Amino acid sequence: MKTLIALFGATALTTTAALADGHAQTWDMPLAYSGSNFHSVTAAEFGKCVTTGTGGAINIVTHPSGSLFPGAQIKRAIQTGQVNIGERLLSGHQNENALFGFDSVPFLATSFEDSTKLWDAAKGPLTELLAEQNLTLLYSVPWPPQGLYFRDEVNSVADMAGVKFRSYNNATSRLAELTGMLPVTIEAAEISQAFATGVADSMVSSGATGYDRKVWESLNYFYEVDAWLPRNYIMVNSDAWNGLDDGQKAVMQGCAELAEYAGYWRSVQYTDFTMTGLAEGGMTVGPASETLVNELKVIGETMTAEWLENAGAAGQAIVDAFKAE
């Protein structure tokens, strides 16, 4: 915080001059998740930090729940300059480059500690990849560990056959295929309606998503399998970033560091809270059966091998660096 105060002071003259010249900018920031979701709360605080730190020269306004752009369109909107900043789950773009799915390799990193190690290994290559796409990475926050939601009880992979499964990236679609489920692509903002209307009967997601969307109104079981911890990424259009002065960049980077720290610990603390919330909502919450866990790990090995094949040497380097730590 002392660093930010110093940064704010250093940019005071610059931002005052910008406002006097009428150069104040409003940056709309699309978010895919509800305003109450901890990612959205963190993003809103980041926006206020930047607005305050730049003396109002950059006013960041968040738009949660996919209200400005659906989740799948946010990355493209930032790249093309339709918005200057936004948040996106990059594993949803593995069709562009397999590296975007590094955080969704099943059973590779299954704890917050391992998720951090994996992020440390992948941050450099991912930042470079985004830069090639006219995107400047500011910060990243992990979701809680992913578990399995079902309408009906499931004790083995055989019980999943024919179940309609909400997918949100290549990894989830492939998981559905390998377990005999039927993948249906559904954005986070549409989850509640999809379950209520029977479009889907299951998903793999964190307790946070289920809690925010009150999925206990339609689903009955949550199985803790800690499959992976996907991450959300806050990115800026590189042309917009290059148009900032050094003081504004410093403020934004300082706010990003605070947001990444706060978001991480919110995710950690939200894990137990949401598990309790799902149970209080009426869901059966607990570890998956030993049979199901063992069967899923075999499927995870298949998916890991497939991802490494697609990601090539760059993907192998990330995994090697992660395991070496």
Residue 155 is encoded by which pair of tokens?
Answer: 């004790």
In angstroms, the CA 182 to CA 179 distance is 9
How far, in Å, CA of 172 to CA of 168, rounded? 6
Q: CATH top-level class for 2-90+114-140+231-271? A: alpha beta
What's the pLDDT at 15? Answer: 44
Measure the CA–CA gap between 203 and 222, rounded to whole angstroms.
10
- Give the pLDDT of residue 13: 42
pTM higher than 0.85, yes or no? yes
Which H/E stretch holds residue 160? none
Evaluate whether 107 touches 228 at the Cβ level (below 8 Å). yes
222 touches 287 (CB < 8 A): no
pLDDT in tens, the chain (325 residues): 444 444 444 444 444 444 444 578 999 999 999 999 999 999 999 999 999 999 999 999 999 999 999 999 999 999 999 999 999 999 999 999 999 999 999 999 999 999 999 999 999 999 999 999 999 999 999 999 999 999 999 999 999 999 999 999 899 999 999 999 999 999 888 999 999 999 999 999 999 999 999 999 999 999 999 999 999 999 999 999 999 999 999 999 999 999 999 999 999 999 999 999 999 999 999 999 999 999 999 999 999 999 999 999 999 999 999 999 7
**Contact residues for 190 (Cβ-Cβ < 8 A; gap 6+):** none
Look at the block and give the residue holding tokens 């949803």. 92
Which amino acid makes up residue 138? Answer: L
| Residue listed under structure tokens 């991802």 | 307
In eight-state DSSP terms, residue 95 is T
Measuring CA to CA, which residue among 184, 145, 142, 146 is closest to residue 163?
Answer: 184
**Delimiting residues of CATH 3.40.190.170 domain(s) in the chain:** 2-90+114-140+231-271, 147-228+273-324
Identify the three-state secondary structure at position 24: coil
Residue 28 has a pLDDT of 98
Q: Please, are residues 132 and 76 in contact by the beta-carbon 8 Å criterion?
A: no
pLDDT, residue 293, reads 94
Q: In the sheet where 182-185 sits, what is the strand order?
A: 182-185, 164-167, 202-205, 147-150, 221-224, 284-287
Which pLDDT score is estimated for 11?
A: 42
Residue with tokens 């009426």: 282
Q: Which distant-in-sequence residues (6+ apart) come within 8 Å of 171 by Cβ?
A: 91, 94, 101, 104, 105, 106, 228, 303, 307
CATH of domain 147-228+273-324: 3.40.190.170
**Greatest C-alpha distance within the chain:** 67
Q: What is the DSSP letter of 135?
A: E
Buried b (16+ CB within 10 A) or exposed e, 169-182: bbbbbbbbebbebb
Beta strand 182-185 pairing with 164-167: parallel
Whole-angstrom distance, CA of residue 325 vs CA of residue 310: 24
CA–CA distance, 64 with 187 (Å, rounded to integer)? 13
Helix (H, G, I), strand (E, B) or coil at 22: coil
Residue 234 belongs to what H/E stretch?
A: strand 231-237
Whole-angstrom distance, CA of residue 208 vs CA of residue 214 = 10
